[in-house]
Amino acid sequence: MTAENDREPVATTPPNFIAEIIDDDLASAKNGARLQTRFPPEPNGFLHVGHAKSICLNFTLASRAAFGLCNLRLDDTNPVAEDDVFVKSIQEDVRWLGFDWDDRLYFASDYFERIYAAAVTLVTKGLAYVDSQTTEEIRENRGNFYKVGVESPYRNRSVEENLELLERMRSGAVKEGEAVLRAKIDMAHQNMNMRDPLLYRIRHAEHHRTGNTWCIYPMYDFAHPLSDAFEGVTHSICTLEFEDHRVLSDWFIENVGGFTPVPRQIEFARLNLTYTVLSKRKLQQLVNEHHVLGWDDPRMPTIAGMRRRGYLPESLRAFAERIGVARRDSMVDVALLEHQLREDLNAHANRTMALVKPLRVVIENFPEDAQEEFEVPVHPEYPERGSRRVTLTREIFIEEDDYLEDPPKKWFRLTPGQEVRLRSACFLRCERAVRDENGKLIELRCTWDPASKGGSTTDGRKVKGTLHWLSKKDAVAAQIRLYDRLFTEEDPEGQENKSFLDFINPNSLEEVTGWVHRDLAQSPAGTRVQFERLGYFCVDVESTPERPVLNRTIGLRDSWSKIAGKD
């Protein structure tokens, strides 16, 4: 009988308090049988792994009702920062994760006329006014946590004057920075968001969808809840930084009026991941200052970067479910995501042999023009996937790290006079090493045992070391990119008097010329394989049959845990 303390831990799904709220609302028929969520990113950058959590959450929550829906809406209210490149990348990322919004792709810009009409409604009700203070004066007069705000001298303009000024702002007759539209709420409110927040500002910039039709644009806090209401969203799921904005969103919905259902805002903790930065502003800084090679650099925590590196969508979905939904911020160990990825890749990725640091080996007793072919399983756990063929010739290549001239004890790889097994092929004995005049290792001279074809002998002789290898006939030179974590510090944003840039890992990318099997050179971008004994790799988008490019997704073991003393 297994002792209590020796039992395997049972994986459980963390409780989801948002799902419980939604289930209660459905049970009470609060919105009838309707359930509608949305995923509403701003198209001002690529999505990252934190967004992946939100995507999974919103789309899976919608499935809790028989006819639940989840919209994809891009909140494009800032023409200065937005671009169609980001719009396309967002759609690609959501689809790659396995979710579909059907025909419900919306933009906040779809509602610009309706949002403007809502602003006119507030002005007409005496609940909004055009403020002609400077940006600095508005900021100063808002006060702070210890000091109440000061009312604008323009706060009591008449409804007629405000409507005229607002129309002048819309027509382009007012210069940028000369006026804004503000809600008239309470300059002494304890919640700073309620101190006459801005509704519209002037931006003489071309919008990626509406062009130059508009020169005033709604603020995010104004456009976002109204867009939810226009779409009939029942549950507006957002991260904790919007908790203090909820009262303002409710104020807009109530005072514009006429909405059924009224969206219910529920906040959850955003994802914080060790050794990772998930601030879109800081990710953009990494791109703009060329610390990385773009938004889809495989070192970036963007969904596009993770896809290019070889991550699986099911790994991100499983990770999102595994960490659950919390009410308070916390830090998640990136090793949990990496563990999930290894588990999934182990089943998904077929095996092949490749060499990161190839070392030439000449088998002296193997005939010059001869060759031996061996069938090797594509995946040892899934025989139905078939096999691949490898060719043994007189000249082969092994990993340079698999040879030591003066090895330590319990060294089971190649050294002069020691015998090893070439994976699925034969036994090989090292006779001597050949070096140049500077002492650099050039090649090994070895012999093989013809009676050991297939990797075993009839005399029962055993060897402890097994090496991966490639013959000269099968090998194709490839650019291999060895990626590691982008930051050396567990919390790169939380170090006093330090910038997150101070912790960029100088060894996050090493590019080497290695050898891969010729079959892999023909594989399309996105093909994921396990290089036996080396790790998981993915064919890059820049790869061609003439010049294969492979990205290391992750090693077979967590070397970082060992370095940190976690094992």
pLDDT digits (tens, 9 = 90+) for 539-556: 999 999 999 999 999 999
* Tens digit of each residue's pLDDT (9 = 90 or more) over 214-265: 999 999 999 999 999 999 999 999 999 999 999 999 999 999 999 999 999 9
pLDDT of residue 2: 36
Mean pLDDT of 72-78: 98
- Classify residue 4 by its DSSP letter: G
pLDDT class for 66, splitting at 50, 70, 90?
confident
φ and ψ of 529, to 5 deg: -140, 160
Judged on CB neighbours under 10 Å (0-12, 13-18, 19+), 39 is: buried
pLDDT class for 15, splitting at 50, 70, 90?
low
Q: How long, in residues, is the chain? A: 567
Which of 184, 195, 280, 421 is catalytic? The answer is 280
Mean pLDDT of 457-470: 87
pLDDT of residue 457: 76
Q: Is the peptide bond before 261 cis (omega within 30 degrees of 0)?
A: yes
C-beta of residue 175 within 8 angstroms of C-beta of residue 184: no
pLDDT of residue 558: 57
pLDDT at residue 13 is higher than 50: no
CA-to-CA separations, 461 to 148, 158, 376, 464, in angstroms, rounded = 86, 99, 22, 10
Average pLDDT of the chain is 93
Active site includes 351? no
pLDDT of residue 538: 98
Which of 64, 155, 203, 270 is catalytic? The answer is 270
* Tens digit of each residue's pLDDT (9 = 90 or more) over 146-162: 999 999 999 999 999 99
pLDDT of residue 32: 84
Q: How far is CA 470 from the centre of its chain?
A: 34
pLDDT of residue 365: 96
Mean pLDDT of 60-77: 95
Mean pLDDT of 287-310: 98
pLDDT at residue 309 is higher than 70: yes
C-beta of residue 302 within 8 angstroms of C-beta of residue 46: yes
Closest CA to 529 of 454, 519, 305: 519
Q: What is the dihedral of CA 448, 454, 459, 465, to 10 degrees?
A: 70
Active site includes 164? no
Buried b (16+ CB within 10 A) or exposed e, 546-565: eebbbbbbbeeebebeeeee
Residue with tokens 């055009």: 130
pLDDT at residue 198 is higher than 50: yes
CA-to-CA separations, 7 to 322, 339, 422, 567, in angstroms, rounded = 20, 20, 38, 20
pLDDT class for 113, splitting at 50, 70, 90?
very high
pLDDT of residue 564: 42
Mean pLDDT of 96-104: 97
- Could you give the CA distance from residue 312 to residue 422 in angstroms, rounded to a whole number? 31
C-beta of residue 47 within 8 angstroms of C-beta of residue 80: no
pLDDT of residue 9: 35
Which of 42, 82, 338, 419 is catalytic? The answer is 42
φ and ψ of 264, to 5 deg: -100, 115
* Tens digit of each residue's pLDDT (9 = 90 or more) over 317-376: 999 999 999 999 889 999 999 999 999 999 999 999 999 999 999 999 999 999 999 999
C-beta of residue 199 within 8 angstroms of C-beta of residue 222: yes
Closest CA to 333 of 373, 273, 393: 273
SS3 308: helix
**107: β partners:** 74
Active site includes 473? no
Q: Is the dihedral of CA 112, 114, 119, 120 positive or negative?
A: positive
SS3 50: helix
Q: Is the dihedral of CA 294, 298, 301, 302 positive or negative?
A: positive
pLDDT at residue 12 is higher than 50: no
C-beta of residue 475 within 8 angstroms of C-beta of residue 397: yes
- Could you give the CA distance from residue 200 to residue 397 in angstroms, rounded to a whole number? 66
Residue with tokens 């289930």: 23
SS3 144: coil
pLDDT at residue 5 is higher than 60: no
